């Protein structure tokens, strides 16, 4: 303010020195340092197009300094100096003072308004140029770049030809229009009009901080969505963008006088002066229709003013909230009919004649081709759509959208092509929908498939009933043994399971002799036996089970239907009073933990074998989670539960805690936390909340254990108190993942496979279930070279923040849960 006080002093001095009333002539366009403009005086631009002086808007008595058209019979103010500081009387004086500022003072010499500059010149003057631009400059210096100040940088509600609406990145200054409060008050009102460079440049109207209109991106000829702002014989317009500035401007190409204004209601209006009518004629006005209301139809909604109601969802999209949508509240928008699955490869569908979406979350490159554009977009899972930037000459440039697509409208002829990411499986319906032949196929195919399915299911149902009756009969007769084991191994019998009576099993296991015992799990001991010449493993469930015989058989039947080469095969069961047993294939190599955590045995598993095992477990788990008809959550995945066959193929065993679940049960709560310390996900251990993602967590730990040869539970490190997860994470963020590798593996390994496995492992043990991979993604990532997402910090990575003994480890069995049926089958 020091400068201003000093300026006040200068001003008083000058007023004193030049107290002679100076009158301005009709052709004066300049106020020099020896003159001042008082209320009633005017200056005009050189050619007489604009005039500046004092005025009162409408019926207001306040006085303002403004610029208006000189040669137009209707007083039309295009710029106001003291918008927010009206003069109350006719005593205002406008004056140029050193070092180069223009000030407006009232009758008692209070500064009402002033320009501002960081520079100073010897002989400052203010001049009204023929463009309507009021500039402060050194007298005689007409170089644009040397202006100390210009009114074009501080517009009111009017955009004049040659004015740049937008950003100067060097000075960090934005030039934007702001509406008048009302006809009598030129102070800034609710609305502003901007050229927004935050994504690919577009023009927006805001009410306060809310966007109310968005032009869509500039496509080389016009704005994508501004159907009314076509090429005009009267003016050219465009957005220009460089490293230092981004701006919108228009130039006149005829002698017709035209201006663009932002009304107090937020309407953008272009006016032309009608010599004949002697009045302003509206040339165009935005909003044109309801569809110009910003994001009226919400994300992925498409507005079509020809329709009633105007909002619809884009093809392949459905309303997010049907109820709201039906009540004509479209703000919640639409979602994909089929969710994206980026890792399995989405596709892009072309939508034509569209106003392109809001580009504030976009990325662009003006030289890329559409093909390059597609490649980039498909590589980044958060890229939702792409299009050309410039529609001239067949199209060029690349525009990518991230986040949801907003403010799309369907136009009838004009508009542009945009390619939107949709799920790959939508492609079937796409292909079939073009071409008449395909349309026929489209109907015939499902019909014939349907027919075959009906016939098949009838056959199966028939056979099932027969089998069920057989099973019942056998149960009664007690002669289950004559159901041949060899048969059960055949695929034909895959959904059925033989029942054995207790005496047969007792014989096979030598009366459960202690020397036949090969393990002891949470649910009872496991014995090796020989049945009909074949080695079997018998899991004898603990007697505390309260499960009834019927339920038990039922659930065994379910599990028997799970057939996968990475799951231990169930051969039969036995239920006799309190005795309940499961008969499994016998796997000679025992369990994974006896290899990887053992100094000598671990040498038997080189890296290719370990990688094979990791993959096998992943596939088996994926099958349980998604591919089987049942959706099973294992809930106790750990190294002891991975068995190895003679070729070291991994087989997941012990579905003792598996919950057979319908889709809706995912994410269910349980009061009883069961599982094994060291493998439990945080949300399960702490809140009893489990989902397939709890298994994914356990899988991640298993992967890290297999790679490192160290047990998460027993892990300790001399340098820190992190557990195996924390240790792996620490190495990972330092780019030293490979150091996690079990020393004994030496040269057997492929570094890229090891590092990839560790990354996948870490992506599986993320704190938030949503951040963890699905098993299908894990399988995909393990086997593909693509770039992996970055893992965040894992859950339970410090030894101390894992719960100690507050939950039930598998050592103390939880056999029944009456309200939530849990399939209790196996124990080691
Ligand atoms: C002023 O307007 C009249 C008619 O409206 C026109 O003939 C004349 O050329 C204009 N003069 C200037 C300087 O624009
Ligand atoms: C000039 O403005 C000051 C501050 O707003 C005010 O106090 C003073 O009364 C004004 N003088 C006249 C003559 O309007
Ligand atoms: C004058 O400009 C400087 C920098 O350009 C700015 O910091 C300052 O706030 C301005 N002052 C006024 C009164 O506009
Ligand atoms: C407007 O005119 C200026 C100066 O001649 C020119 O640089 C600019 O490209 C023109 N803009 C448009 C949109 O035609
Ligand atoms: C745009 O793409 C071209 C290749 O088509 C590339 O050479 C250029 O560096 C890219 N520019 C930017 C800013 O990414
Ligand atoms: C995808 O693009 C977004 C936005 O440009 C960027 O922040 C993110 O890192 C990209 N992701 C990948 C995996 O490249």
Quick: pLDDT tens for 47-58.
999 999 999 998
Does the C-beta of 48 come closer than 6 Å to ligand 1?
Answer: yes
Secondary structure E strands in 287-325: 301-303, 311-313, 317-319
Element (H, E) at 7: helix 2-17
- Per the CB < 8 A criterion, the answer to whether 47 and 104 are in contact is no
How many other C-beta atoms can be found within 10 angstroms of the C-beta atom of residue 486? 10
Measure 249 CA to ligand 4 centroid, in angstroms.
8
> How far apart (Å, rounded) are the C-alpha atoms in residues 506 and 503?
5
- Does 797 lie in the same domain as 728? yes
Output b/e per residue, 379-418; b: 16+ Cβ within 10 A: eeeebbbbbbbbbeeebbbbbbbbebbbbbbbbeebbbeb
With a CB cutoff of 8 Å and minimum separation 6, the contacts of 422 are 316, 336, 338, 340, 346, 347, 348, 349
Please give the number of the atom of ligand 1 that sits closest to the Cα of 47: 13
Q: Which residues of the chain have pLDDT under 50?
A: 1, 16-17, 19-21, 431-447, 465-495, 544, 656-657, 659-673, 800-828
> How far apart (Å, rounded) are the C-alpha atoms in residues 625 and 631?
5
Domain CATH code at residue 643:
1.10.510.10
Measure 240 CA to ligand 4 centroid, in angstroms.
10
**Greatest Cα-to-Cα distance within the chain, rounded to the nearest angstrom:** 130
Measure 677 CA to ligand 3 centroid, in angstroms.
64
- Does 214 lie in the same domain as 118? no
Q: Is residue 601 part of a domain?
A: yes
Measure 536 CA to ligand 4 centroid, in angstroms.
87
Does the C-beta of 122 come closer than 6 Å to ligand 4?
Answer: no
Domain CATH code at residue 111:
2.90.10.10
With a CB cutoff of 8 Å and minimum separation 6, the contacts of 651 are 565, 566, 567, 568, 569, 587, 616, 620, 642, 643, 644, 645
Bridge partners, 570 (sequence order): 584
Q: Which residue, chain included where needed, has tokens 């056959």?
A: 459
445: tokens are: 């195919």
Q: Is residue 476 part of a domain?
A: no
User: Which residue is closest in CA terms to ligand 1's atom 13?
Assistant: 48
Bridge partners, 66 (sequence order): 53, 80
Q: Is residue 451 part of a domain?
A: no
- Per the CB < 8 A criterion, the answer to whether 764 and 700 are in contact is yes
| Residue where a domain stops, chosen among 152, 187, 206 | 152
Q: Is residue 463 part of a domain?
A: no
> Which among 432, 423, 349 has a CA at the least distance from the CA of 385?
349
Is omega for the bond preceding 79 within 30 degrees of 0, making it cis? Answer: no
Residue ranges making up the domain that contains 40: 1-152
Does the C-beta of 220 come closer than 6 Å to ligand 4?
Answer: no
Q: Is residue 420 part of a domain?
A: yes
With a CB cutoff of 8 Å and minimum separation 6, the contacts of 804 are none
DSSP 60-75: ---BEEEEEETT-SS-
- Does 750 lie in the same domain as 671? yes
> Which among 324, 326, 389 has a CA at the least distance from the CA of 356?
389
- Does 308 lie in the same domain as 272? no
Measure 747 CA to ligand 1 centroid, in angstroms.
91
- Per the CB < 8 A criterion, the answer to whether 527 and 516 are in contact is yes
Q: How far is CA 805 from the centre of its chain?
A: 39
> How far apart (Å, rounded) are the C-alpha atoms in residues 285 and 40?
35
- The DSSP bridge pattern shows strands 149-150 and 134-138 to be antiparallel
pLDDT of residue 1: 45
- Model-wide pTM > 0.75: no
| Residue where a domain stops, chosen among 400, 416, 431 | 431
Which of the ligands is closest to the CA of residue 256?
1
Question: Using a 6 Å CB cutoff, which residues line ligand 5?
Answer: 365, 367-368, 372
Q: Is residue 362 part of a domain?
A: yes
User: Which residue is closest in CA terms to ligand 3's atom 1?
Assistant: 116
800: tokens are: 């101390």
With a CB cutoff of 8 Å and minimum separation 6, the contacts of 344 are 424, 776, 780
551: tokens are: 């339920």
Does the C-beta of 237 come closer than 6 Å to ligand 4?
Answer: yes
- Pocket mutation for ligand 4, best pick of 166, 236, 237, 260 (most atoms within 8 Å of C-beta): 236
- Please state whether 316 falls in left (phi above 0), alpha (psi between -120 and 50) or beta: left
Domain CATH code at residue 212:
2.90.10
User: Which residue is closest in CA terms to ligand 3's atom 9?
Assistant: 116
- Does 724 lie in the same domain as 713? yes
Residues in the chain: 828
- Per the CB < 8 A criterion, the answer to whether 480 and 532 are in contact is no
Which of the ligands is closest to the CA of residue 85?
2
Question: Using a 6 Å CB cutoff, which residues line ligand 6?
Answer: 363, 380, 382, 402
- What's the domain count of the chain? 5
- Per the CB < 8 A criterion, the answer to whether 7 and 97 are in contact is yes
Q: Is residue 437 part of a domain?
A: no
Does the C-beta of 253 come closer than 6 Å to ligand 4?
Answer: no
- Does 755 lie in the same domain as 641? yes
- Per the CB < 8 A criterion, the answer to whether 760 and 731 are in contact is no
> How far apart (Å, rounded) are the C-alpha atoms in residues 232 and 216?
19
Domain CATH code at residue 556:
3.30.200.20
Reduced to 3 states, what is the DSSP secondary structure of residue 13?
helix
754: tokens are: 């090891």
- Does 194 lie in the same domain as 128? no
318: tokens are: 């459905």
- Per the CB < 8 A criterion, the answer to whether 481 and 501 are in contact is yes
- Does 23 lie in the same domain as 97? yes
Active site residues: 636
DSSP 160: P
- Does 574 lie in the same domain as 618? no
- The DSSP bridge pattern shows strands 674-675 and 659-660 to be unpaired
- Does 115 lie in the same domain as 1? yes
- CA-CA-CA-CA dihedral for 449, 454, 456, 462, to nearest 10: 180
How many other C-beta atoms can be found within 10 angstroms of the C-beta atom of residue 348? 19
Element (H, E) at 559: helix 549-560
- Does 159 lie in the same domain as 148? no
> How far apart (Å, rounded) are the C-alpha atoms in residues 207 and 266?
7
Q: Cα 291–293–294 angle (5° rounding)?
A: 115
Measure 268 CA to ligand 3 centroid, in angstroms.
29
User: Which residue is closest in CA terms to ligand 5's atom 14?
Assistant: 365
With a CB cutoff of 8 Å and minimum separation 6, the contacts of 431 are 438
Q: Is residue 462 part of a domain?
A: no
> Which among 537, 535, 587, 582 has a CA at the least distance from the CA of 565?
587
User: Which residue is closest in CA terms to ligand 1's atom 11?
Assistant: 71
- Does 318 lie in the same domain as 277? no
Secondary structure E strands in 551-652: 570-576, 579-585, 632-633, 642-644, 650-652
Reduced to 3 states, what is the DSSP secondary structure of residue 319?
strand
| Residue where a domain stops, chosen among 234, 265, 288 | 288
80: tokens are: 């106001």
For the chain, how big is the Rg over CA atoms in Å? 39
């Amino acid at each position: 303010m020091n400068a201003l006080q000093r300026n006040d002093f200068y001003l008083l001095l000058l007023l004193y020195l030049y107290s002679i009333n100076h009158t301005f002539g009709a052709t004066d366009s300049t106020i020099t340092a020896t003159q001042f403009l008082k209320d009633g005086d005017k200056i005009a631009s050189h050619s007489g197009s604009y005039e500046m002086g004092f005025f009162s808007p409408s019926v207001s008595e306040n006085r303002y300094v403004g610029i208006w058209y000189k040669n137009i019979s209707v007083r039309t103010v295009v710029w106001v100096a003291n918008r927010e500081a009206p003069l109350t009387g006719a005593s205002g004086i406008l004056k140029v003072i050193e070092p180069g500022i223009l000030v407006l003072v009232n009758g008692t010499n209070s500064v009402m308004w002033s320009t501002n500059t960081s520079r100073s010149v010897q002989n400052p003057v203010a001049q009204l140029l023929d463009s309507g631009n009021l500039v402060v400059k050194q007298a005689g210096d007409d170089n644009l770049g040397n202006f100390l100040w210009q009114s074009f940088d501080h517009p009111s509600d009017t955009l004049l030809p040659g004015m740049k609406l937008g950003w100067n990145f060097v000075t960090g200054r934005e030039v934007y229009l702001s509406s008048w409060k009302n006809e009598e008050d030129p102070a800034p009102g609710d609305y502003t009009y901007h050229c927004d460079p935050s994504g690919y440049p577009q023009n927006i109207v805001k009410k306060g901080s809310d966007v109310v209109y968005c032009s869509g991106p500039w496509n080389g000829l016009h704005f994508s969505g501004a159907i009314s702002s076509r090429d005009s014989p009267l003016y050219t317009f465009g957005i220009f963008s460089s490293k230092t500035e981004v701006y919108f401007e228009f130039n006149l190409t005829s002698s017709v006088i035209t201006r663009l204004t932002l009304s107090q209601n937020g309407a953008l209006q272009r006016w032309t002066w009608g010599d004949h009518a002697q009045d302003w004629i509206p040339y165009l006005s935005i909003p044109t229709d309801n569809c110009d209301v910003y994001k009226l139809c919400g994300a992925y909604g498409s507005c079509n003013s020809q329709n009633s109601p105007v909002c619809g969802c884009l093809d392949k999209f459905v309303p997010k909230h049907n109820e709201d949508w039906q009540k004509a509240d479209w703000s919640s928008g639409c979602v994909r009919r089929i969710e994206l699955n980026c890792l399995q490869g989405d596709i892009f569908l072309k939508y034509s004649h569209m106003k392109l979406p809001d580009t504030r979350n976009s990325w662009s490159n003006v030289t890329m081709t559409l093909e390059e554009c597609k490649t980039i977009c498909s590589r980044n899972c958060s890229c939702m759509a792409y299009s050309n930037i410039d529609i001239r000459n067949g199209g060029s440039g690349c525009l990518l959208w991230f986040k949801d697509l907003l403010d799309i409208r369907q136009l009838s002829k004009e508009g542009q092509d945009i390619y939107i990411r949709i799920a790959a499986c939508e492609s079937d319906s796409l292909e079939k929908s073009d071409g008449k032949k395909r349309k026929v196929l489209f109907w015939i195919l499902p019909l014939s498939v349907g027919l075959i399915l009906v016939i098949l299911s009838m056959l199966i149902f028939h056979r099932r009933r027969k089998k069920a009756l057989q099973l019942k009969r056998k149960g009664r007769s007690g002669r289950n043994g004559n159901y041949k084991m060899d048969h059960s191994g055949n695929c034909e019998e895959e959904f059925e399971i033989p029942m054995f009576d207790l005496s047969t099993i007792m014989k096979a296991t030598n009366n459960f002799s202690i020397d036949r015992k090969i393990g002891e799990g949470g649910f009872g001991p496991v014995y090796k036996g020989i049945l009909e010449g074949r080695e079997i493993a018998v899991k004898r469930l603990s007697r505390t089970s309260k499960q009834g015989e019927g339920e038990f058989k039922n659930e065994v039947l379910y599990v028997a239907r799970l057939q996968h080469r990475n799951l231990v095969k169930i051969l039969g069961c036995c239920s006799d009073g309190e005795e309940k047993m499961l008969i499994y294939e016998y796997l000679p190599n025992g369990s994974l933990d006896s290899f990887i955590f053992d100094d000598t045995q671990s040498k038997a598993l080189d890296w290719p074998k370990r990688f094979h095992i990791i993959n096998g477990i992943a596939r088996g788990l994926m099958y349980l989670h998604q591919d089987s008809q049942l959706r099973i959550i294992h809930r106790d995945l750990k190294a002891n539960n991975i068995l190895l066959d003679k070729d070291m193929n991994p087989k997941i065993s012990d579905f003792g805690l598996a919950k057979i679940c319908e889709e809706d049960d995912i994410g269910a709560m349980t009061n009883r936390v069961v599982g094994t310390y060291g493998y439990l996900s945080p949300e399960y251990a702490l809140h009893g909340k489990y989902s397939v993602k709890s298994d994914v967590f356990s899988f991640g730990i298993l992967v890290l254990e297999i790679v490192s040869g160290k047990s998460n539970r027993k892990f300790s490190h001399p340098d820190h108190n992190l557990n195996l997860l924390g240790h792996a994470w620490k190495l990972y963020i330092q780019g030293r993942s490979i150091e996690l590798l079990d020393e004994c593996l030496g040269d057997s390994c492929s570094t890229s496979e090891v590092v990839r496995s560790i990354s996948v492992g870490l992506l599986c043990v993320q704190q938030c279930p949503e951040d963890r991979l699905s098993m299908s993604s894990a399988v995909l990532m393990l086997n593909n070279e693509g770039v992996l997402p970055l893992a965040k910090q894992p859950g339970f990575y410090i030894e101390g923040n894992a719960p100690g003994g507050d939950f039930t480890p598998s050592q103390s069995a939880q056999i029944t849960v009456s309200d939530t049926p849990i399939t209790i089958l196996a124990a080691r």
